[in-house]
Structure 1
Amino acid sequence: MIRNKKQWLLRGLSMLAILLLSGCSSLSYYTQLAEGQLDLLRAREPVADVIADPQRDPKLREHLRKAQQAREFASQHLHLPDNQSYRLYADIHRQYVVWNVFATGEFSLDPVTHCFPIAGCVAYRGYYSQGAARGEAALQKLDGKDVYVSGVEAYSTLGWFDDPIISSMMNWGDERLATLIFHELAHQRFYVQDDSEFNESYATFVEQEGTRQWRAARGLPAEGASSESQRRDQLTTLVLATRDRLKALYAEPLSPEVMRQRKAAEFERLRSEYRTMRDSQWSGDKRFDTWVYAPMNNARLLPIGLYDQWTPAFAALFKQVGGDWPAFFAAVEKMGALPKDQRKAALERLSKI
């Protein structure tokens, strides 16, 4: 009886939180969100128990042990939330925890947004089932939208629940897992509604600076940008240039037929420039071929560049406060309280320092 009461309480709390987080009108969408989150909550177990169990995979136990060292560092040295998030583990038995559906107009780079009372407006809709995500994508396509479905290995509930380390994250290296913990705990520390660029750039800076300090604390040398990171940045530059050209194109008074032809030409230009860069500068490294040569549309470009647009501004802010984390977070919160146009102007000023 107690167990049943606990299950119903957990189900009720899950549904309530999801309804608060979601502004969607579809009951079926509410239901899949609630059930998916509930399944994740049920799968959680203390990381300490997994590490202590000799019957569990030794590689998993060691990976989690190192993750817990980073988790302690996050709270003790980076002044990030000290709670049960990332001190729990959940095996979900699938590659991704959710699938996000991005959509735009055929001749637009503005995303179809979905607004939630707590999280604010975001440029995607998440599904715990790949089939449901594909179904939503098909409906959007029937409506004439450009659509992109992207699998996600981890996400944050912004402190509403104790977020676990998920099995979908276990293919990452020890340091990559640590950076994810720093990033997501930064979101728990502070989050602004309706400003993804601010939120993600802020969390990315915390991730990067936190990783630098985490390496220093273990006596490891500062690590320069890896070849993969450098090449990802170069590809991002190409994609952002393509977005700029498409934005200018879509503002022109052209017929739909001509617009489609020129749109397709821009995507071919992106692929051509990528091939030249890959073969002349990367020694033929094809690690990004799958993404570049997949069917291309406006929605596929949406996530690119989102996570680091204002990272230099937050780096400048951190330097201004002398590298003091509490002072940095106080300054971020002060900036986050500004109206969006004033917040953007403040970030632009910091970026020029």
Structure 2
Amino acid sequence: MTPRVRCLLAIALIPLINGCSSASYYSQLAGGQWQILQAREPVSTVIADPQRPVVLREQLVKAQAARNFASQHLYLPDNQSYRLYADLKRPYVVWNVFATPEFSLTPVTHCFPIAGCVAYRGYYSQGAARGEAALQRQDGKDVFVSGVEAYSTLGWFDDPILNSMLTWGDERLATLIFHELAHQRFYVKDDSEFNESFASFVEQEGTRQWRARQGLSPASDNGLQQRKQFIALVLDTRQGLQDLYAQPLPADEMRQRKAAEFERMRHEYRQLRDQQWGGNKRFDGWVNSPMTNAKLLPFGLYDQWVPAFTAMFESVDGNWPNFYREVEQLAKLPLQQRKAALQQWIARH
């Protein structure tokens, strides 16, 4: 790849995952995206090839049905995104590194002219992500590294279905397509919470309609309720930590009380699991692994405003074009006014 192509790809990647201030970071962004572009092939070619695994071909057939549904019924972009396939030979496409100060839930952000400020940095190599996490820890930061199955280039490129998107089953693949196309449909600079909550709502409502279209029963109420309760517990922990960090306490006492807050969350989680969920251990791995402020950040990003978008969708009687127009008007407001309006929508919901 020529330096010029690398430069263009790096510039184009600014709206995707995050940004950086170093040439080496831009280089790995460009190289990672270039690998994806080179690996793409039409889904129709894979489906028609008898030499490809039957399971893969069947998954892609179902994925194309969901892809068509996304444009025809959810009014999401009708382009070549997710009509291509790429096998990257790894479990995740990128690894995101979240970081916060030791006694704060404010993320370390990275700001750029096009994408605005985002709350994480993405790496196409797990080793590079771990290296960045180690540097952040040396600087005294709380850090969390999370693998990501898919991301949207916001229309800069035709995004493919990745092998990393196929590991969670047919419905999960459909929901990922809905979520990532929602980012192409709408993106607001400098407001990750708005963008991710919007895409999460489109994903959830789109999945509900997708299941109904196929004549399937609604998703398990038990599973949905458990997820809601778990998210509420995490958000409650975030609030408890925010209240703690606002107090003028010595660092040693602050660390002790921080650790106690995480232990309280674990205790309440086990009570939920054993007393209300019938011992379902779906979140055990997350809860029992090391806990940091940064580990709590994605929950605020992906879930904070979903109830507001739900109320907005109901207010237009489930009409997608009208819903998108409402979202567009909301996005034109200054940040603080937009947040106030979203709070009002939540109150209505």
TM-score (norm 1): 0.93
Give, in angstroms, the shift of residue 11 of structure 1: 4.5
Give, in angstroms, the shift of residue 148 of structure 1: 0.8
Residue matched to 1:104: 100
DSSP 3-state at the match of 1:200: helix
Q: Which residue, 231, 238, 243 being the options, matches 2:226?
A: 231
Aligned partners of 1:120 and 1:194 also within 8 Å: yes
Counterparts of 1:179-328 in structure 2, within 5 Å, are 179-225=175-221, 227-328=222-323
Give, in angstroms, the shift of residue 230 of structure 1: 2.5
Residue matched to 1:79: 75
Q: Which residue, 117, 124, 147 being the options, matches 1:121?
A: 117
Q: Does 1:37 align with 2:33?
A: yes
Change in CA separation of 1:232 and 1:67 when aligned onto 2, cut-off 3 Å: same
Please tell me the residue identity of whatever aligns with 1:299: A
Give, in angstroms, the shift of residue 152 of structure 1: 0.8
State the aligned residue count. Answer: 347
Q: 2:207 & 2:140 partners in 1: Cα distance?
A: 43
Aligned partners of 2:150 and 2:164 also within 8 Å: yes
Counterparts of 1:134-173 in structure 2, within 5 Å, are 134-173=130-169
Residue matched to 2:346: 351
Q: 2:281 & 2:217 partners in 1: Cα distance?
A: 29
Change in CA separation of 1:39 and 1:296 when aligned onto 2, cut-off 3 Å: same
Deviates more, 1:287-296 or 1:101-110: 287-296
Change in CA separation of 1:10 and 1:87 when aligned onto 2, cut-off 3 Å: farther
Q: 1:185 & 1:141 partners in 2: Cα distance?
A: 34
DSSP 3-state at the match of 1:203: helix
Give, in angstroms, the shift of residue 8 of structure 1: 7.9
Seq. identity, %:
69
Aligned partners of 1:20 and 1:117 also within 8 Å: no
Aligned partners of 1:147 and 1:299 also within 8 Å: yes
DSSP 3-state at the match of 2:216: coil
Supply the RMSD in Å over aligned alpha carbons: 1.8
Give, in angstroms, the shift of residue 224 of structure 1: 4.2
Change in CA separation of 1:327 and 1:20 when aligned onto 2, cut-off 3 Å: closer
Please tell me the residue identity of whatever aligns with 2:87: D
Q: Does 1:62 align with 2:58?
A: yes
Q: In structure 2, list runs of 5 or more residues that go unmatched.
A: none
Give, in angstroms, the shift of residue 247 of structure 1: 0.7
Please tell me the residue identity of whatever aligns with 1:74: A
Deviates more, 1:205-214 or 1:157-166: 205-214
Give, in angstroms, the shift of residue 306 of structure 1: 2.5
Q: 2:5 & 2:236 partners in 1: Cα distance?
A: 47
Deviates more, 1:206-215 or 1:227-236: 227-236
Give, in angstroms, the shift of residue 294 of structure 1: 0.9
Aligned partners of 2:15 and 2:115 also within 8 Å: no
Q: 1:68 & 1:76 partners in 2: Cα distance?
A: 12
Deviations 1:151-201 (A, max 9, x none): 111111111111111001111221111111111111101100111111111
Change in CA separation of 1:20 and 1:153 when aligned onto 2, cut-off 3 Å: closer
Q: Runs of at least 4 residues of structure 1 off by over 6 A?
A: none
Give, in angstroms, the shift of residue 74 of structure 1: 0.9
Please tell me the residue identity of whatever aligns with 1:41: L
DSSP 3-state at the match of 1:31: helix
Aligned partners of 1:45 and 1:89 also within 8 Å: yes
Aligned partners of 2:7 and 2:30 also within 8 Å: no
Q: Does 1:94 align with 2:90?
A: yes
Change in CA separation of 1:90 and 1:317 when aligned onto 2, cut-off 3 Å: same
Aligned partners of 1:236 and 1:305 also within 8 Å: no
Q: Which residue, 328, 332, 335 being the options, matches 1:337?
A: 332
DSSP 3-state at the match of 2:145: strand
Change in CA separation of 1:284 and 1:322 when aligned onto 2, cut-off 3 Å: closer
DSSP 3-state at the match of 2:314: helix
Please tell me the residue identity of whatever aligns with 1:351: I
Q: Which residue, 44, 48, 69 being the options, matches 2:44?
A: 48
